[in-house]
Amino acid sequence: MADALISVLLERLVSITYEYVEGELKHVLNVKEDVEKFTRTLRVIRAVLEDAERRQVTDQAVKIWLDELKDISYQMVDVLDEWNTDILKQQVEKREREGDPNALVTKKKVRFSRCFCFGKVSRVILRRDIALKIKDLNDKLTEVYEERKKYQFQSKELGIQQPQQPQRPQTASFVDISEIFGRENEKKDLITNLLSDSSAEGKGLLIIPIVGMGGMGKTTLTQLAYNDDRVKSHFEIRKWVCVSDPFDEIKIAKAISGDYAPSSNELDEVLQCMSRSIQGKRFLLVLDDVWTDDPKKWKQLKVPLFQSGAEGSRILVTTRKLEVANMMRATRNMINLGGLSDEYCLSIFNHMAFSDRDGHESKVFGDISKEIVKKCKGLPLAAKTLGSLMQNKTKMGEWKEVLNSKIWDLETVEQEVFQPLFLSYYDLSPTIKCCLLYCAIFPKDYEIERDDLINLWMAQDYVISKKSEEKGTTGDAVFDNLVARSFFQDFEKIGTLSVLLANQSYWVIRTLNLSGNSIKELPEEIGELKHLRHIDLSFNCILEKLPDTICGLYNLSTLRLVWCSELKKLPENMGNLINLKHLYVLLCGRLASFPKGIGRLTSLQTLDLCHCDGNNNEAFQIGDLRKLNLEGSLAIHLVGDATDKSEVEKAQLWDKKLFHLTVYFERQTNSSSSSVEILNALRPHPDLESLKILYHNGTTWPNWMQSLHNLRFLTLVGGTQCELWPLGKLEYLETLTLRSMDGVRKVGVEFLGLEDQTSFRIRSPQILFPKLKRLWFGLMLNWEEWEGVEEWTKEDSEITIMPCLSQLTITGCPLLKALPDFVFKTPLQTLRILRSERLLERYQEGNGEWAKISATNPNIRIIR
Q: Is the peptide bond before 634 cis (omega within 30 degrees of 0)?
A: no
The answer to whether 718 and 701 are in contact (CB under 8 A) is: no
Indicate the residue type of 17.
Answer: T
What are the φ and ψ backbone dihedral angles of 694, each rounded to 5 degrees? -120, 130
Task: Determine the pLDDT at residue 174.
Answer: 66
Query: CA–CA separation, 635 vs 624, rounded Å?
Result: 14
Q: What is the pLDDT of residue 497?
A: 25
- What CA–CA distance (Å, rounded) separates 424 from 409? 20
In 322-449, which residue ranges form alpha helices assigned H by DSSP? 322-327, 342-354, 359-364, 366-374, 380-389, 396-404, 411-413, 419-426, 430-438
Q: Which residue, among 38, 21, 139, has the nearest Cα to 83 in the 3D structure? A: 21
Cβ distance 824 to 800 under 8 Å?
no
- Relative to beta strand 735-739, strand 582-584 is unpaired
Q: What's the confidence (pLDDT) of residue 673? A: 60
Task: For residues 728 and 845, give the distance between their C-alpha atoms in angstroms, rounded to a whole number.
Answer: 30
CA distances in angstroms from 626 to 612, 658, 721, listed in the order given: 13, 13, 31
Radius of gyration, alpha carbons of the chain: 32
Q: So what's the pLDDT on residue 118?
A: 41
Nearest-angstrom CA–CA distance, 789 and 796: 14
Q: How many CA atoms lie within 13 A of 561 on its CB side?
A: 26
Where do the DSSP E strands lie in 164-224? 206-211
Is 707 in a helix, a strand, or coil?
helix
Phi and psi at residue 799, to the nearest 5°: -95, 130
User: Helix 31-46 vs helix 2-14: angle between axes, to the nearest 10 degrees?
Assistant: 150
Q: How far apart are CA 377 and CA 532, in angstroms?
A: 35
Within its chain, how far is the Cα of 553 from the centroid? 28
> Please, are residues 32 and 18 in contact by the beta-carbon 8 Å criterion?
yes
Question: How are the residues of the chain apportioned to helix, strand and coil, as percentages rounded to the nearest 5?
Answer: 45, 15, 40
Mean pLDDT by 10 residues, the chain (864 residues): 66 57 49 79 78 74 82 79 75 67 41 42 63 84 84 61 48 66 85 74 74 84 90 91 83 84 83 90 91 86 88 90 86 84 87 75 80 81 79 79 64 54 65 79 70 83 60 70 66 32 48 87 86 90 92 91 91 90 89 85 86 74 86 82 77 88 76 76 91 86 87 89 82 94 89 68 72 95 86 60 93 94 88 92 79 77 81
Residue 539, phi-psi category: left (phi > 0), alpha (psi -120 to 50), beta (remainder): left
C-alpha span between 210 and 194 (Å, rounded): 13
- Judge whether 39 and 107 are in contact, CB under 8 Å: no
What is the CATH number assigned to the segment(s) 177-336?
A: 3.40.50.300
- Contacts with 783 (C-beta within 8 Å, 6 or more apart), sequence order: 741, 744, 745, 746, 747, 777, 813, 815, 816
E-strand ranges in 272-312 read: 283-290
* CA contacts within 13 A on the Cβ side of 402: 27
Question: Rounded to whole angstroms, how far apart are CA atoms 10 and 325?
Answer: 34
pTM score above 0.75:
no
How do strand 534-536 and strand 511-513 relate by DSSP bridges? parallel
Q: Is the dihedral of CA 227, 228, 229, 232 positive or negative?
A: negative
